[in-house]
């Protein structure tokens, strides 16, 4: 996985390779993982929010009911 | 880097942009504070979370495709040929500033010893993207779902504003060549587009419950925490310094860049690679802030909320030409922008029943549009680029700055890439039933359950004996 194992060898090469992160060459897979995480987050967050809003809507609180929940700080 | 002077220039530039990113972070802190201060108590925490979550949503998409759009789209595509490869297609070839290097799997989109600039430049633009999305966030508080806002934030932050940046805020942009567009500190490319986008959403989203009486008279739902609003706006001003600096290239030799044989001319430049000075734009920034505050105080009759917002609107209005204006011109332009924004805000509110909770459409949208139009007159005849000067509509050279081109540019920003996409996406989300929170939740307060849980915790702690 390590792209660099010896800085002296790396920096004294005729052409110094710029990319030094682990797993150079696997960028495509990393991007794919990022896409899956991104889409997945939206799906989960949307469901979570929808459930929360439906639950609260069913209780039909009045416009001033929240005042009884104000903490004393 | 093997020679010391080249290394110093590169590392200075790298550090310069890095500092601007840190400063611009304060814009977002300011927006969060401002929005929470403007919202009602029962919606505070949701308001904060909505604006906070745009940070990761826009950042990830900016990495995946936003940055690529900026470098790919300057030609339209199909509207004016690139000066790099003379093609009007998307710029994805091997040329130096091609989008090819900024796909998310590029080796330059990471720690790379051969590239000290791409990452900080990417980040500076990303912070502009957060700002575009955050402008929208304030307008829609207390009734939009976080899901819908997330989609809309991605649309404006990683797509539509960056298309306009490629077109009108890039040395190779077609709007410079065909229209003579000039917008040095983003009156249009960030503020007008985000303001227009917000207005498009508001037209679909509708007002907060209680905002308008049954006869259609608007009611004031003022800021609940004026101190948070105050500190928030001061922080936005502070971050704006970073924004101005980030719009410049700090050191550049224009001699070889413009092909001037034997000429060496080091200077700071704006984003179009035409000369300006950090010193001069600092004067203009402060004079336009002052003009905005002065006009806002008068027109709003000393109302603190509008006076603070007017400081911002003043800077935004003068920003298009603040690389070249005289400081007193900046101040006057800022004053005009504030009067236009303030009057239009209340006219639109009454006429179309638009509930812009924080005046974002006015401060960013109307002031931005006014700034572009004024810039067309004040800078009429200046070259829009240093590379060449040509005629309007042709596209192979750069048209000079002119009133018609700037007016058309303002329409592209506010309407074409702002209002219309915002309206369409909001319509789709509305059609899916995902745009607005249920009426019962809006009445109860988005934070109801969090507050209820906090109260229960408080009771259980208070009744504990050990």
Q: What is the DSSP string of chain A?
A: --S-S-HHHHHTSSS--SB-STTTT-HHHHHHHHHHHHHHHHHHHHHHHHHHHHHHHHH---TTGGGGG----
pLDDT of B2 > 80? The answer is no
- Chain A interface, best mutation among B444, B447, B459, B460, by max A CB count within 10 A: B444
Angle between helices B146-155 and B44-61 (to 10 degrees): 40
**Closest residue, chain A, to B105 (C-alpha):** A27
**B:12-41 residues touching chain A, CB 8 A cutoff:** 41
Computed over every residue of chain B, the mean pLDDT equals 96
Locate the chain A residue with the closest alpha carbon to B149.
Answer: A46
Residues of chain B in contact with residue A15, where contact means CB-CB under 8 angstroms, are none
Asked if the structure places residue B461 within a domain, the reply is no
User: CB distance from A22 to chain B under 8 Å?
Assistant: no
Collect all residues of chain A within an 8 Å Cβ-Cβ radius of residue B147.
42, 45-46, 49-50
Q: Is residue B463 part of a domain?
A: no
Q: Is B289 helix (H, G, I), strand (E, B) or coil?
A: helix
Residue B328 lies in a domain: yes
Tell me how far apart the alpha carbons of residues A34 and A30 are, in angstroms, rounded to a whole number: 6
Contacts of B259 (CB under 8 A, 6+ apart): none
What DSSP line would sit under B410-436, residue for residue? HHIIIIIIIIHHHHHHHHHHHHTT-SB
- In chain A, what's the furthest Cα-to-Cα distance? 74
Number of cross-chain residue pairs from A and B with Cβ atoms under 8 Å apart: 103
The CATH number that applies at residue B301 is 1.10.3430.10
Percent of chain B with pLDDT over 90: 97
So what's the pLDDT on residue B308?
Answer: 95
Quote the pTM value: 0.96
pLDDT per position as a tens digit, B212-240: 999 999 999 988 899 999 999 999 999 99
Res. B1: pLDDT tops 80: no
On the question of pLDDT at B80 being above 90, the answer is yes
Q: What is the pLDDT of residues B325-353, one digit of tens each?
A: 999 999 999 999 999 999 999 999 999 99
Measured from the Cβ of residue B464, the count of other Cβ atoms closer than 10 Å reads 7
Return the pLDDT at B59. Answer: 98
- Looking at residue B403, its pLDDT comes to 98
CA-to-CA separations, B217 to A53, B120, B360, in angstroms, rounded: 30, 48, 20
Residue B96 confidence (pLDDT): 87
Give the tens place of pLDDT for each residue, B184-219.
999 999 999 999 999 999 999 999 999 999 999 999
Distance (Å, whole) CA A59 – CA B358: 30
Flag whether pLDDT at B465 surpasses 90.
no
Instruction: Say if B464 falls within a structural domain.
Output: no
The question of ipTM being above 0.85 is answered as yes
- From B115, B444, B445, residue closest to A18, measured CB to CB: B115
Distance CA B50, CA B38 (A): 14
Mean pLDDT throughout B309-325?
98
Q: Is the dihedral of CA B372, B378, B380, B382 positive or negative?
A: negative
Identify the residue whose tokens are 């004031």: B220
Conformational region of residue B267, where left means phi above 0, alpha means psi within -120 to 50, and beta covers everything else: beta
Partner residue facing B107 (CB), from A19, A38, A49: A19
How many structural domains is chain B composed of?
Answer: 1
pLDDT for residue A73: 63
pLDDT, mean of residues B75-95: 96
> With bands split at pLDDT 50, 70 and 90, how would you rate the model's confidence at B466?
confident
Q: Rounded mean pLDDT of B122-145?
A: 97
Q: Which chain A residues are within 8 Å of B437, Cβ to Cβ?
A: 53
Rounded to an integer, what distance in angstroms lies between the CA atom of residue B134 and that of residue B156? Answer: 10
Rounded Cα distance, B451 and B46, in Å? 11
Chain A partners within 8 Å of B438 (Cβ)? 53-54, 56-57
Could you tell me where the DSSP H helices lie in B110-192? 118-139, 146-155, 161-168, 174-179
Q: Write down the residue that tokens 């595509």 correspond to.
A: B77
CB A24 within 8 A of CB A45: no
Give residue B416's domain range. Answer: 4-253+263-453
Could you tell me which of B98, B99, B120, B103 has the C-alpha nearest to residue B111? B120
């Amino acid at each position: 996985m390590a792209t660099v194992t010896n800085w002296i060898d790396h920096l004294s090469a005729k052409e110094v390779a710029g990319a030094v992160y682990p797993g150079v060459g696997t960028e495509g897979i990393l991007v794919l993982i990022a896409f899956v995480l991104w889409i997945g987050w939206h799906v989960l967050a949307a469901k979570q929010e929808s459930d929360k809003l439906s639950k609260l809507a069913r209780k039909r609180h009045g416009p001033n009911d929240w005042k009884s929940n104000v903490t004393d700080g | 880097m093997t020679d010391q002077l080249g290394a110093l220039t590169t590392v200075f530039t790298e550090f310069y942009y890095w500092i601007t990113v840190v400063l611009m972070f304060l814009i977002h802190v300011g927006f969060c504070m401002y929005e929470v201060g403007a919202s009602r108590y029962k919606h505070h925490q949701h308001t904060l979370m909505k604006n906070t979550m745009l940070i990761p949503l826009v950042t990830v998409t900016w990495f995946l495709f936003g940055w690529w759009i900026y470098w790919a789209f300057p030609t339209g595509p199909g509207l004016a040929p690139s000066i790099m490869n003379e093609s009007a297609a998307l710029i994805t070839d091997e040329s130096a500033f091609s989008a090819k290097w900024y796909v998310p799997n590029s080796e330059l989109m990471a720690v790379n010893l051969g590239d000290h600039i791409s990452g900080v430049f990417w980040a500076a633009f990303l912070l502009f993207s957060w700002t575009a999305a955050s402008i929208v966030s304030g307008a829609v508080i207390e009734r939009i779902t976080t899901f819908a806002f997330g989609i809309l934030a991605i649309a404006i932050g990683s797509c539509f504003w960056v298309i306009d940046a490629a077109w009108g805020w890039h040395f190779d942009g077609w709007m410079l060549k065909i229209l003579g567009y000039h917008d040095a500190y983003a009156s249009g490319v960030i503020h007008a587009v985000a303001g227009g986008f917000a207005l498009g959403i508001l037209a679909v989203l509708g007002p907060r419950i209680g905002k308008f009486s049954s006869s259609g008279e608007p009611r004031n739902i003022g800021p609940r925490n004026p101190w948070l609003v105050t500190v928030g706006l001061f922080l936005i001003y502070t971050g704006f310094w970073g924004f101005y600096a980030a719009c410049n290239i700090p050191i550049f030799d224009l001699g070889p860049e413009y092909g001037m044989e034997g000429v060496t001319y080091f200077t700071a430049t704006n984003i179009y690679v035409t000369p300006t000075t950090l010193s001069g734009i600092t004067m203009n920034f402060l004079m336009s802030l002052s003009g905005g505050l002065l006009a806002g105080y008068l027109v709003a009759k000393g109302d603190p909320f509008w006076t603070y917002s007017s400081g911002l609107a003043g800077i935004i209005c003068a920003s298009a030409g603040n690389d070249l204006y005289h400081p007193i011109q900046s101040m006057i332009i800022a004053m005009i922008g504030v009067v236009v924004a303030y009057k239009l805000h209340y006219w639109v509110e009454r006429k179309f029943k638009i509930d812009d909770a924080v005046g974002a459409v006015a401060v960013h949208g109307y002031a931005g549009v006014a700034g572009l139009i004024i810039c067309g007159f004040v800078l009429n005849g200046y070259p829009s680029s240093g590379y060449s000067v040509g005629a309007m509509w042709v596209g192979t050279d750069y048209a000079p700055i002119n009133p018609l081109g700037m007016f058309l540019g303002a329409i592209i920003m506010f309407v074409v890439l702002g209002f219309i996409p915002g309206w369409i996406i909001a319509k789709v989300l509305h059609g899916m039933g995902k745009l607005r929170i249920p009426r019962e939740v809006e009445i109860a307060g988005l934070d109801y359950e969090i507050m209820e849980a906090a109260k229960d915790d408080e009771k259980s702690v208070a009744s504990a004996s050990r």
